[in-house]
Amino acid sequence: MEKKIFLGLTIFIILGYFGWYLFVDSVQQRELQLAETELNTIAAKLNKARSAQMNLQSIQKKYEEDQKRLIRERTRFLNKNELSIVTKKLKFFSSKYKIKLLDFSPGLDSYFGVSPEEKIVSLPIDIMVEGYYLNIGKFLEHWKDLPFYMIPNGVELKRADPDDNMLHAIISASLYTWNE
């Protein structure tokens, strides 16, 4: 009889364990898997959000740098009433390269007849300088360092004196300004 009770209890415990496993543990396992899946989804979203935030910060930083650069570039376009600044800057700039600024003549007749819809206008300018060949070349090469946009279109070189190596250069250029 004790064997029957022991066998009955053993079968009851085994059936109880399988019943518990089938009805309780398997449900908890499914819920655990669903929770892990949801946790992984949330973790993936969090990682995407972190990378997006880092990208946003780098994009904002780049945007701010571009805005500063645009403001700096905007100041290189002069207004029509600031042409005297060009003469002063060119005189200083030419002396830096040991060149003498002889003449500065903007073509104002075509400049003031420009349509008001055009925001950036090209002002034709003829500049006459005197100096040695290499100095004139260095002067032209460094026009990109000027605080305004002026682009050389052509250069005509003549000797200032037949017995001297000094040259007169007539530089045709375009000065870009705001049309306000």
Chunked into runs of 10 residues, the chain (180 residues) has average pLDDT values of: 78 76 72 87 89 86 89 74 79 88 73 64 86 89 85 88 85 81
- Residue 79's pLDDT is 72
- Which residue in 129, 95, 131, 125 sits closest to 107, CA to CA? 125
- Residue 114's pLDDT is 57
- Residue 62's pLDDT is 92
Task: For tokens 């360092």, name the residue.
Answer: 145
Token pair recorded at residue 57: 């910060």
Return the bridge partners of 158, or none. 168
Residue 175, number of CB atoms within 10 A of its CB: 23
Tell me the C-alpha distance between 75 and 89, whole Å.
14
